[in-house]
Amino acid sequence: MSSEHKALLLGAGFVCPPAVQALSEAGVHVTVASRTLSAAEAVTDGRSNTSAISLDITDSGALDSAVADADIVISLVPYIFHAAVVKSAIKHTKPVVTTSYISPALWELNEEAKEAGITVLNEIGLDPGIDHLYAVKTIDEVHRAGGKITSFTSYCGALPAPSDANNPLGYKFSWSPRGGLLALLNSAQWYENGKIVEVNGKDLMASAKPHDHFSQFDLVGYPNRDSVGFKEFYNIPEAETVFRGTLRYKGFPEIIRTLVAIGFFSQEKLAILDSEKDGSLTWAQLTAELLGLSSDAGEADIEAAVLEKASFLSEEERERVVSGLRWIGLFSVDQVEAHGSPIDTLCAVLEKKMAYGPGERDMIALQHRFEVLRADGARETRSSTLIEYGEPIGPGSRSAMAKLVGLPCAVGTLAVLRGQIKEKGMIAPWTSAQIATLLRDELKKKYKIELNERSFIELEEQVF
């Protein structure tokens, strides 16, 4: 590809380096833009064909100037900023690539983007992204053969490798945990046996169930937000069940449910958590306050109050959860680093205690399962599975998550630049089987990223 092509990449998060490397190696000059120049420079450091700039995305004039100077815009900032980016891109007739779901705010810009003649490729990361590429592959194959998808279930988990899941939650953060924690309070809905099933956000963790399709791991799964629309997106109106879920290690949901019950997920500002105070508040005192106990309550009283709040725990779970809360430090006399609200104060300590350490690895586990009624009447179960481990944490290492989000993003960007994706407006890999095939084949050929596909056909019982 000609080095004349210029990409503006907005953001400097951990998924950016693989995308920047892949694009620069393909001959695209990548300008990485971040509010903090040093963050952008960290992404471009040591890479040829790149540059770094400081850019406040909320400054429409500065954004317009940067967009006007690029051939394509890659938006890897939080999704709430995508609409502003796309509006600027429409003004300057520049295509856009994001790894996020197409939000209602983006759908509102669909016709404007079409009129401007620009492609806005979304949902080309891991989840969403790679998951789409293999969902539509199997669905298209089944439909072409005259079959029907009677059930589609999909689970994905971004986790520590089993050997590094060495804390009571079996989870670690490589970014600020606030968004991930609050997502555990999202409501969810899906199709099950032909009916829409809903779960309120406060009950999301209670809906977690053991997941045995990855028998080598001790996992549980819970619903991932709104799966109802995927019946239409994937063109499977015949499906009785359409479900997408998230994977975590066993024990995670019970600790989260207990933290919620105590009040640690509250976003309400509390006077005792005013960061301007003298810093004499202990974790035991904060936990006691949230439980309605006196500030001089002892550890035994606090534990008893916790278990009363968490009456949903089994006897086995009670001991494990209390041990986990003690590990976090909720009963300790250590001083609290106050951040205004319980959730922000909790995030500050979890970000430190649950960070990946040197030499540790992350892991991605993704699986689709399709129940199929074939044209010949036979019933078939098909699966598509991916298990990917990141590189051990160290200078220049890439996590599995960074690789599986950044590289699909780069492949999508190159496809748009090369004119291989001609559709205009808001599109995603599920838009057409042709787009999905193009991106999937390139990921497999160039980066050996693919899902392992298997099939099992149910045979009718023979009577002899």
Q: What residues are labeled active site?
A: 127
Instruction: Count CB atoms within 10 A of the CB of residue 452.
Output: 11
Q: What's the start-to-end Cα distance of the chain, in Å?
A: 65
Q: How would you list the strands of the sheet with 425-427, edge to edge? A: 50-54, 29-34, 6-10, 72-75, 96-98, 119-121, 425-427
Report residue 381 as tokens. 């179960």
Instruction: Count CB atoms within 10 A of the CB of residue 272.
Output: 15
Place of tokens 């053969």: 145
Would you say the C-alpha torsion 190, 192, 196, 197 has a positive or negative sign? negative
- Beta strands, E only, 374-442: 379-389, 425-427
Q: Where are the alpha helices (DSSP H) in 184-274?
A: 230-233, 252-262
Q: What is the C-alpha to C-alpha distance for residues 27 and 134, in angstroms, rounded to an integer?
A: 28
Closest of 224, 205, 168, 180 to residue 351, by C-alpha: 180
Instruction: Count CB atoms within 10 A of the CB of residue 59.
Output: 12
Alpha carbons within 13 A on the beta-carbon side of 423: 17
In order of 160, 163, 217, 395, the CA distances from 359 in angstroms are 12, 11, 21, 10
Q: In whole angstroms, what separates CA 290 from the centre of its chain?
A: 30
Closest of 162, 152, 101 to residue 126, by C-alpha: 101
